[in-house]
Amino acid sequence: MRNWMTPVMYILIGLAIFFVGVQLFTNTSGFLINIVIMIGMAAILYGAIYYFFLRGRGFSGGSGNRTEMKKYKQAVKQSKQKYKQPAPAIKKSPAAKTAVKSAPFTRKNRRRTNGPQLRVIEGNKNKDKNRASF
């Protein structure tokens, strides 16, 4: 079935290119007007489809995108709370610098309460291969 479809597709594409070339040389202004109208109709059609169907779904268009985005935002919020990322520095005027007293930098020696979650995987350690003998 595929064998006879390939030449038919090549013939149709060739005829389309031939007739586009003929119209370009015989009726240039009409051809350009038709191209502009087709581009405008495609833009209107795309805008309508986007407005009615794709607008609320985000970029990927998946139905689970909203819940995934909520989970992502919640994870970012928790991460910021955990690591307490400082707010971006705001430049102050020189007069404001003199009014603020500089507190001495104190560093607390805290131990980490939660260490990394590591797991030991035991395997058969007797099968050491001597790579030099190969």
Comparing 17 with 57, which gets the higher pLDDT?
Answer: 17
The more confidently predicted of residues 68 and 89 is 68
Is the pLDDT reported for residue 62 higher than 90? no
Report if pTM > 0.75. no
pLDDT tens, position by position, 84-96: 756 666 666 655 5
* pLDDT level of residue 53 (50, 70, 90 thresholds): confident
Q: What share of the chain is helix, strand, coil (3-state, %, to 5)?
A: 60, 0, 40
Average pLDDT, the chain: 77
Closest C-alpha to 66, from 76, 57, 75: 57
Task: Give the model's pLDDT for residue 103.
Answer: 54
Instruction: Indicate the range of 48-52, 83-87, 109-113, 123-127 predicted with least confidence.
Output: 109-113
Q: Does the structure show a pLDDT above 80 at 110? A: no
